Chains A and B, each alone.
Chain A
Amino acid sequence: METFSRHIEIRQIGDCVVVYFTRSRILHTTEHEQLAEKLREVVEVYRPRSLVLNLHNVVFLPSAVLSHLVTLKVRLGKQGRRFALCNLRPEIAEILRIAGLDRWFTIFADEQDALAALSTTAGESLG
């Protein structure tokens, strides 16, 4: 596990990068833009085939952050990269459902499932 910034830690597994949020309160007003910038940096530095956000530690997901995740997924898709979320708390899953994004994002119950599905030998149809 590598500390990428004060917001996130990352783990590289083959051509997949998993991002962990270091603080549950990171997703708060003043830090939205910084978080989005760090996620862009992860993609630029590691150029992963697949990016997985492990949201286990996230207890709050305002629409501004949701917007950044939508933008990130669209951008990665245009680059032929894959993007997924895993380990969602029920309240975060509820927000995605309300926003109609629970089926638009690729979501896995846990990191192991995500890595298995997104490995290079897995199918290419995942978003």
Chain B
Amino acid sequence: MWLWQFHREVPSTLTEASRVLSEIVAELQRQGWSERDIFSVQLAVEEALVNAIKHGNRSDQSKLVSTRCRVSRQAICVEIADEGEGFDPSQVPDPTSPERLEEPSGRGIMLMRTFMNRVTYNAKGNVVTLEKTRSDAEVSETA
């Protein structure tokens, strides 16, 4: 059962993205999520929002970024959609390979996958869904 849900559609600016992210973080804090979990969610959602704005909508402020977020006692699910052409995430090269270490980009998806339990894309590649289970879910359940 979802305790909290929201949907925001904002122009493709980092300022607007920050506001969306702040709302999510504030809700997790309100629900007593651990600092470690909040850090993970914050990092992953920020990466996804920046990708949607910069790579998806190419910072075109006439295009919107949609964020749907649901939080239960045990988990959070965040879906972020842009109006871009999409991409194939399987074609993104491994940024940790020696020949790519000095490349300035390509680490965002890897960080999202590391800090969340599940990261999936739609077929077009312009909607990413981030899911994380609360690390103290069992404790929370019985508390």
The A/B interface has a contact count, at CB < 8 Å, of 62
Task: Decide if B111 touches A99 in the complex (CB within 8 Å).
Answer: yes
Question: Is residue A101 contacting chain B, with contact meaning CB distance below 8 A?
Answer: yes
The docked-state distance in angstroms from the alpha carbon of A63 to that of B97 is 16
Whether the pair A63, B101 counts as a contact (CB closer than 8 A) is no
B75 sits at the interface (CB 8 A): no
CB of B107 within 8 A of CB of A67, answer yes
* B39 contacts the other chain (CB 8 A): yes
Range for the number of chain B residues in contact with chain A: 20 to 34
Q: How far is the CB of B2 from chain A (nearest CB, A)?
A: 26
Main secondary structure of the interface of B (DSSP, over half): helix
Can you list, as one digit per residue, whether each of A78-113 has a CB less than 8 Å from chain B (1) or not (0)?
000000000000010001001111001000000000
The answer to whether B14 touches A99, judged by C-beta atoms less than 8 angstroms apart, is no
What's the Cα separation between A94 and B104 when bound, in Å? 18
| Chain A contact residues, CB within 8 Å of chain B | 28-30, 32, 59-60, 62-64, 66-68, 70-71, 74, 91, 95, 98-101, 104
Listed by A's residue number, 9 A-B pairs whose Cβ atoms lie within 8 Å are: A59-B39, A62-B50, A62-B108, A63-B107, A74-B102, A95-B43, A98-B114, A100-B96, A101-B101
Assuming A29-B50, A63-B108, what are 20 further A-B pairs, CB within 8 angstroms? A29-B18, A59-B39, A60-B43, A62-B46, A62-B47, A62-B111, A63-B50, A63-B105, A64-B50, A67-B104, A70-B101, A70-B103, A71-B104, A74-B102, A91-B39, A95-B43, A98-B111, A99-B96, A99-B107, A100-B97
Please report B residues at the A interface, Cβ cutoff 8 Å: 14-15, 17-18, 21, 39, 42-43, 46-47, 49-50, 95-97, 101-105, 107-108, 110-111, 114
